[in-house]
Amino acid sequence: MAAVDAAARRLGLSAGQKAADALALVPHLVTADHDPDADRRALESLCDWCVRFSPAVAVDGDDGLLLDITGADHLWGGEDAMLADLLQRLERWGVPARGAVADTAGAAWALARFGQGGAVVAPGGQREALARLPVAALRLDEAAQAQLPRLGLHRVGQLYALPRAQMAKRFGLAFTQRLDQALGAAGEALAFRRPASPWFERLAFFEPISAPDDLARVAADVLALICKRLEGEGRGARRFEVVFHRLDGKAFPVPVGLARPGRDARRLAKLVAPKLDVVDPGFGIDVITVHAYAVEALAQGQSRIDAELDAAEALAPLVDRLVNRLGEGRVWRPDPVESHVPERAVARAAPLASPAAARPWNPDLPRPTRLLKRPEPIEVLAKLPDDPPLRFTWRNRHHRVRAAEGPERIGQEWWRGDFDDTGPGRIRDYYRVEDEAGGRFWIYRQGLYGDDASPKWWLHGLFG
Amino acid sequence: MPGSREARIEALRGRIAAIEAGTRTPTPVLPFGDPRIDDRLPGGGLPRAGWHEVVGEGLEGESGASTAAFAALLARPRISKGAVVWVLRRSDLYAPGLVNLGFPVERLVMVRVRDEAEGLSVLEDALATPGVSVAIGEAEAPDLVAGRRLQLACERAGGFGIVLHRRPYGGPARGATGSAAFSRWRVGPAPGRAPPPDSLGGGLGLGPPAWRVALERCRGGRPGAWILEHSEADHGPHPFRVVSELADHDLAQTPPERLRRVG
């Protein structure tokens, strides 16, 4: 038996029992296999659902969630209302839950598990609130938990007066740390499912909405809310996530990225609108939230479109539109890489990123306008040993070489481990040749004549 | 021949265009700096805003190397400020090769699209953006509606657009049909001249690249054909030098070379 609910407990069942014993107590007991992974997944999806209350949610143990509601409770009109709403919703779905609100994660944990459900501790009131709880509420390790009652310490309040140094010596440092964390004297780092961000806004609707036009409209409204706040603090963000929460608890996130930090709600709404087809409203959307990530300082005032516009500023809207529509990898700026191997000499950078540190390409080295992704084999007739070919056949067309230039020898980068193997067969001699019609080709010979394997010729690019 | 019917109609068209232009402000143009070309263009040059088609000839329709180089040089003097957007279907455009042509690659934004419709709409979007001075796109054949939209986008933001006709996965490009482009250029390679002798006295290797360029149609202009060469010398705004003017029959495609026996 992994877990029992209240009804089972009344029948005398307890967690940890053998299934056979339980069946002896309750003959018509229905059991299901314990599946910790599925439990975990369910808890995590619940955690993701809780984002409608606060962006900072952490999974706690096997059966708990911690929400950091700092700065989010005013949206419900106070902590009491917020907690009541949360518990009611869970109740409606048949997820029995107990909750509490306190200054510290430790105190909230203790009150939720050992106090009356739904307790809301006034700021700074956790010392009194915890005093009456059993020591188990302090999240202690097994040894300490077993020892304390033997010493006559049953309530948390009894621990307040004891000398700390001796306690720490006796029960370990973790003990005092847990106590401090509960009382707010020590900080506690929670592993939130998503980075905590104060940049969070939310709209709730009395009537669930489902029409696509309405979705776009409320997305624009919620974006306007957060952009107003960003503007008030002189900031802009690079990434926004608009999340549509459906009545049945499923959430549809719609991410939007910007090339430069911004806070123009109208532009953002335009970027969100084409992506709304991922949202399946079902019975209706009743809450919409928005987060801003990568928030940076941004100078006051939105730029206007005028002649004196900074070039990057003018380009940013287009880049945003294209990246959000086509995807990250389809819009790029070619950046130089210091490598002699032609296919390695170009890197893809974000279009508005700062210029690369590498040296720019040398304009005096002949390089083709079109570089084939894979060099294509050609049949050649060449004079030995080091001359460009006299004629070659590529894609079943014969070309007679009228003039040629080269060779430019490009050796392999032997310091790279990912080359197939080393040796003279990896040397490429590039020639630029022109056929009788004037077409110019970039061909290379791989390997040297006189080796065991005869060299191969390849066509790697075309010059304009 | 000046007395022919086509020439008269063409002249009338030019006059009508002049009358129409009189009601608007005359469009600013950028001349090539060589009368042999500029005389054929309305107003003595290509307008600064508008879009043009570049069609490859023979093998070039497939590989798109000459057309890309020609388009890069045609667009280069217009990239004073702002960015260049190049819409690709296959990512085989090689930036170091554009550096050879003096193209400002640091202002280049490449976009790879999945299909024709997406490519044309990205091109239109780019042309309508004030921060973009030139947009070049590879497409099979924009129809009249798409062409009209491109034209409106150019007029709205003063952009300069070029559509390269190219099949995305090999095969010769389809012949361009009528469209709303301002002009259509057919470009193929031409044998380059030997390089000028350097200090060592040897003119080895290859000279500057040359193209056989035909202006097939131009709104309010007259068709013509030239051999142009890439040249950085100072002779006008465009990095082209006219090597010679061609008569129309020179535009016939060169027959494919047959393999001859080598004795």
Please report, for the domain that includes residue B230, its CATH number: 3.40.50.300
A408: tokens are 């430019």
pLDDT for the residue B204: 62
Determine, for residues A399 and B257 on separate chains, whether the beta-carbon distance falls below 8 Å: yes
H helices of A184-296, in order, are 212-232, 265-272
The CA distance from A417 to the nearest CA of chain B, in Å, is 25
Which residues on chain A are in Cβ contact (under 8 Å) with B63? 370, 462
Is residue B125 over pLDDT 70? yes
B98 lies within 8 A of chain A by CB: yes
Cβ neighbours of residue A335 closer than 8 Å, sequence gap 6 or more: A346, A347, A348, A349, A355, A356, A358
Q: How confident is the model at residue B259 (pLDDT cuts 50, 70, 90)?
A: very low
Cβ neighbours of residue B1 closer than 8 Å, sequence gap 6 or more: B7
Closest by alpha carbon to B174, among B51, B86, B53? B53
C-alpha–C-alpha distance, residues A294 and A255, integer Å: 13
Could you give the count of Cα atoms lying within 13 Å of A326 in the half-sphere of its Cβ?
25
B52: tokens are 């043009």
Determine, for residues A370 and B209 on separate chains, whether the beta-carbon distance falls below 8 Å: no
A18, burial (CB in 10 Å: exposed 0-12, middle 13-18, buried 19+): exposed
List strand residue ranges (DSSP E) for A26-181, in order.
Answer: 56-60, 64-68, 100-101, 119-120
B158 lies within 8 A of chain A by CB: no
- B-interface mutation test, from A326, A359, A369, A432, most B Cβ less than 10 A away: A369
Is residue B162 over pLDDT 90? yes
What are the residues facing B135 on neighbouring strands?
B85, B161
The mean per-residue pLDDT over the stretch B174-200 comes to: 75
Count A/B contacts: CB-CB distance under 8 Å: 181
The CA distance from B201 to the nearest CA of chain A, in Å, is 16
C-alpha–C-alpha distance, residues B11 and A314, integer Å: 41
pLDDT for the residue B252: 43
- A-interface mutation test, from B100, B232, B240, most A Cβ less than 10 A away: B100
At A89 the three-state DSSP class reads helix
C-alpha–C-alpha distance, residues A286 and A207, integer Å: 7
Residues 168-207 of B with CB under 8 A from A: 188-192, 194, 204-206
Distances (CA, A) of B173 to A264, A460, B87, B168, B177: 43, 22, 17, 9, 12
For chain B, what is the domain count?
A: 1
B102 lies within 8 A of chain A by CB: yes
Residues 287-346 of A with CB under 8 A from B: 305, 309, 311-319, 321-322, 326, 330-334, 336, 342, 345-346
Whether the model clears a pTM of 0.85, i.e. scores above it, the answer is no
Is residue B123 assigned to a domain? yes
At A461 the three-state DSSP class reads strand
B133 lies within 8 A of chain A by CB: no
Measure CB to CB from residue A314 to each of B129, B189, B257 and give the nearest one.
B129
**Sign, Cα dihedral of A74, A80, A81, A84:** positive
At A45 the three-state DSSP class reads helix
At position B132, the amino acid (one-letter code) is V
Cβ neighbours of residue B139 closer than 8 Å, sequence gap 6 or more: B87, B89, B116, B119, B120, B123, B163, B164, B165, B166
Is residue B34 assigned to a domain? no
Determine, for residues A464 and B66 on separate chains, whether the beta-carbon distance falls below 8 Å: yes
What's the full length of chain A, in residues? 464
C-alpha–C-alpha distance, residues B55 and B139, integer Å: 10
Residues 113-132 of B with CB under 8 A from A: 113-114, 118, 122, 125-126, 129-132
Which residues on chain A are in Cβ contact (under 8 Å) with B91? 373
pLDDT for the residue B260: 43
pLDDT for the residue B44: 84
C-alpha–C-alpha distance, residues A134 and A146, integer Å: 12
Is residue B66 assigned to a domain? yes
C-alpha–C-alpha distance, residues A419 and A91, integer Å: 61
Terminal CA-CA length for chain B: 48
C-alpha–C-alpha distance, residues B174 and B244, integer Å: 28
The CA distance from B69 to the nearest CA of chain A, in Å, is 5
Instruction: For the sheet with B240-245, list strands across it.
Output: A346-349, A331-336, B108-112, B83-88, B132-139, B160-165, B50-56, B183-190, B210-218, B224-230, B240-245
C-alpha–C-alpha distance, residues B84 and A454, integer Å: 44
Q: Do the beta carbons of residue A114 and residue A137 sit within 8 Å?
A: yes
Which residues on chain B are in Cβ contact (under 8 Å) with A314? 82, 129-131
Q: How confident is the model at residue B253 (pLDDT cuts 50, 70, 90)?
A: very low
Q: How confident is the model at residue B85 (pLDDT cuts 50, 70, 90)?
A: very high
A303, burial (CB in 10 Å: exposed 0-12, middle 13-18, buried 19+): middle
A347 lies within 8 A of chain B by CB: no
Is residue B175 assigned to a domain? yes
Print the domain residue range for B124: 47-191+208-243
pLDDT for the residue A424: 55
Is residue B107 assigned to a domain? yes
H helices of A32-104, in order, are 36-49, 79-92
B37 lies within 8 A of chain A by CB: no
Is residue B110 over pLDDT 90? yes
A357 lies within 8 A of chain B by CB: no
> Which range is least confidently modeled, A195-199, B110-114, B120-124, B154-158?
A195-199
Which residues on chain B are in Cβ contact (under 8 Å) with A326? 111-114, 118, 122
C-alpha–C-alpha distance, residues B38 and A407, integer Å: 40
pLDDT for the residue A11: 74
pLDDT for the residue A418: 53
A54: tokens are 């606060």
Which residues on chain B are in Cβ contact (under 8 Å) with A370? 63-65, 68, 92-94, 97
C-alpha–C-alpha distance, residues A60 and B119, integer Å: 49
Q: Do the beta carbons of residue A9 and residue A1 sit within 8 Å?
A: no
pLDDT for the residue B255: 42
Residue of A nearest to B70 (CA): A464
pLDDT for the residue A92: 83
User: Do the strands B83-88 and B108-112 form a parallel or antiparallel pair, or are they unpaired?
Assistant: parallel
| Residues in chain A with pLDDT values less than 50 | 301-309
pLDDT for the residue B250: 46
Closest by alpha carbon to B86, among A33, A334, A312? A334
- φ, ψ of residue A321 to 5 degrees: the values are -60, -45
Closest by alpha carbon to B17, among B43, B39, B40? B43
At position B54, the amino acid (one-letter code) is V
Q: Do the beta carbons of residue A439 and residue A348 sit within 8 Å?
A: no
Closest by alpha carbon to A46, among A70, A63, A31? A63
Determine, for residues B94 and A311 on separate chains, whether the beta-carbon distance falls below 8 Å: no
Determine, for residues B131 and A315 on separate chains, whether the beta-carbon distance falls below 8 Å: yes
Determine, for residues B92 and A311 on separate chains, whether the beta-carbon distance falls below 8 Å: no
At A150 the three-state DSSP class reads helix
- A-interface mutation test, from B94, B120, B133, most A Cβ less than 10 A away: B94
A397 lies within 8 A of chain B by CB: yes
pLDDT for the residue A197: 63
C-alpha–C-alpha distance, residues A133 and A111, integer Å: 8
The mean per-residue pLDDT over the stretch B17-23 comes to: 62
Residue of A nearest to B95 (CA): A334
Per cent of chain B over pLDDT 90 is 22
At A342 the three-state DSSP class reads helix
